[in-house]
Structure 1
Amino acid sequence: MTYSPEALRAFVEAAQLGSFSAAARKLHKSQSTISTAIANLETDLNVVLFDRQAKHPVLTKEGKRILNQVKEILLANEKLDELATRLSAQTESRLTFILSDIYYSQRHEKNLYDFEQQYPDIEFECLLAEDEDVIELLQTGRANIGVIEARSSYPADISHYRLPHQTDIAIFVAATHPLASLKQVTREQLNNSRQLYLNTYSGHNKLKSSGLVWSAPSYLLLLEMAELGFGWAALPRWLVKRFSHYPLKELNIAGWPKTISIDAVWSNVSPPGPAGRWWLDQLSL
């Protein structure tokens, strides 16, 4: 028996998010479409996957067992699609890559030169985005591949793999900021000062303190705000070293700096073509 990939993805998303409506938003479908797809899957399997008596659907014992199997099926389908794309050699006419400020690799410039030599006739576009904005750009088809701060889970329609690169993020302030004169800074002292935090267009805040805050959708903008003395910000060390124009002070605070892993991400609904796969291969080096 064959099962609809859309129904399988709907099942996985609903199980992970705990809501049919949340799954619908993630997959850009109506809630009725998700509910129907899952109901049809239950009919095909002759198994009840969700207990719908509670406020939110809860996986049944059978649903929990089937969930892992469905994930394996989707992963196998994804690998088959990638292989078929490679074998067909249907090179895409355009490639859009999402670059994150947390990503730093000495190979990045070389990758650009090599890409131009390998695919001279392909239109290449580079976007800057972070966190949820990266996921949304991939899901809407606006971009093909990207890099993102590694997370524990992804939507069912997003594939990923861990890159060999990591980034150190520390808390910085301008040299003239009151916190810069302290040998050790506490969380309470941070909360009493303005935080400059990363806030994506999708509206998912990051490291937001309880005090006064300003925000921006990129680390470069936060860097400029910090340089002007408007507050403290968690910034990639490499970015500060390379792009700061005025002195910044790294604060000594418990738990910082933090080492961040980075993932390459792409949509498995519209997987990258040969040029995109080439770029992903270079990211892994």
Structure 2
Amino acid sequence: MRYTLDQLETFAAVVRAGSFSAAARHLGKTQSTVSAAISNLEIDLGVELFDRSRKWPVPTEAGARLLRQAELVLERCLDLEAHARDLSEATETRLRLAIEAPHNTLMTPLADFAAHFPYVDLDIRHSFDGDVSGLVRRGEVAMGIAFAQRDYPRELAFAQMGKLILLHVVRHDHPLAKLPKIDFAELRGHRRLMFLAHNERLPSTEYLEATQCWRAENYLALLEMTRAGLGWSTLPRQLVLRELEAGELVELPLTAYPHTDWVVGIDLVWQKSHTLGRAGAWLLRRLRDHKIYETDRMGRPTTW
């Protein structure tokens, strides 16, 4: 068998894209090149990987089984490349991070980084469209910290740092604040103030829909609009603790979920094949060890 990594990559790309033509566009190759690669791979492996009798190529039973093996081979290749790069002793002069989670939850590891690498500059970026993994995948940042998403591209690695609680809040004198209980219909009748990065990326329920919706590209703008009484919003509890304690903001008592917190995961994401020097590798390890959590309504840490 003389199959190549390029053939395995093409095989996986066709399955992900759903067609030879779509895979060719993704890989920057011609459709004939992709077709030839799959045909040669089938010859090398001695099995048909796709059922071509339908409009779109569908993996055969053998193809579906071999796909898992091919993905493992490709994963190991990325791990090998990353391991080799990690052996470099070079220290970066600058690192770029993308942070979507509340920044106050990350000050301890960042302070430790400052102590260990005082001459390495750190740039903190924010993804306005909420696509932190996209910034990492394109190499615009070395790593990202964001709300967990369901699927990551194969070239990215991730580790869950912990979980935070999101609250639905309004200003104390907002009409919703005067209601002892709030159902979905009542909620939809008032303007929603939305963090743009959440936009359909987080698992949600129908009560998050609203007839009016204003969007903000960062938490501070969203918090100020909420404090101004412009509508109700969903914010990390860690961000509004002082406002809640002062009575400036109040949590909405939703009838459907009177005892349930909305808990979301916080993930650390990095590119497997990205070259990290000593500073980047150190920070990656430190962030992976850092745990983000708080106590839920039942008094349990959200890391459970």
TM range (shorter): 0.7 to 0.9
Distance 2:232 2:31 in 1: 43
Instruction: Say if 1:250 and 1:267 are closer, same or farther in 2 by CA, change over 3 A.
Output: same
Query: Shift of residue 102 of structure 1?
Result: 4.4
Instruction: Say if 1:156 and 1:198 are closer, same or farther in 2 by CA, change over 3 A.
Output: same
1:178 maps onto 2:175 in alignment: yes
Classify the secondary structure of the residue corresponding to 1:284: helix
Q: Is the 8 A contact 1:171 1:257 kept in 2?
A: no
Instruction: Say if 1:87 and 1:149 are closer, same or farther in 2 by CA, change over 3 A.
Output: same
Gaps of 5+ in 1: none
Query: Shift of residue 36 of structure 1?
Result: 3.8
Classify the secondary structure of the residue corresponding to 2:240: helix
How many residues in Structure 1 have an aligned counterpart in Structure 2? 277
Instruction: Say if 1:88 and 1:101 are closer, same or farther in 2 by CA, change over 3 A.
Output: closer
Letter in 1 for 2:140: R
Instruction: Say if 1:151 and 1:252 are closer, same or farther in 2 by CA, change over 3 A.
Output: same
Counterpart of 2:142?
Answer: 144
Letter in 2 for 1:135: S
Q: Is the 8 A contact 2:23 2:34 kept in 1?
A: no
Superposition RMSD in Å? 3.2
Instruction: Say if 1:50 and 1:184 are closer, same or farther in 2 by CA, change over 3 A.
Output: farther
Query: Shift of residue 64 of structure 1?
Result: 1.4
Decide which of 99, 112, 115 is 1:114's aligned counterpart.
112
Counterpart of 2:270?
Answer: 266
Letter in 2 for 1:189: E
Distance 1:24 1:233 in 2: 43
Distance 2:24 2:169 in 1: 39
Letter in 1 for 2:272: N
Query: Shift of residue 82 of structure 1?
Result: 2.9
Query: Shift of residue 258 of structure 1?
Result: 0.8
Classify the secondary structure of the residue corresponding to 2:4: coil
Instruction: Say if 1:177 and 1:269 are closer, same or farther in 2 by CA, change over 3 A.
Output: same
Gaps of 5+ in 2: 290-304
Letter in 1 for 2:270: W
Query: Shift of residue 146 of structure 1?
Result: 0.8
Q: Is the 8 A contact 2:145 2:268 kept in 1?
A: yes
Q: Is the 8 A contact 1:102 1:167 kept in 2?
A: no
Task: State the Cα deviation string for residues 45-70 of structure 1 (Å, max 9, x = none).
Answer: 43544445555543332221122212
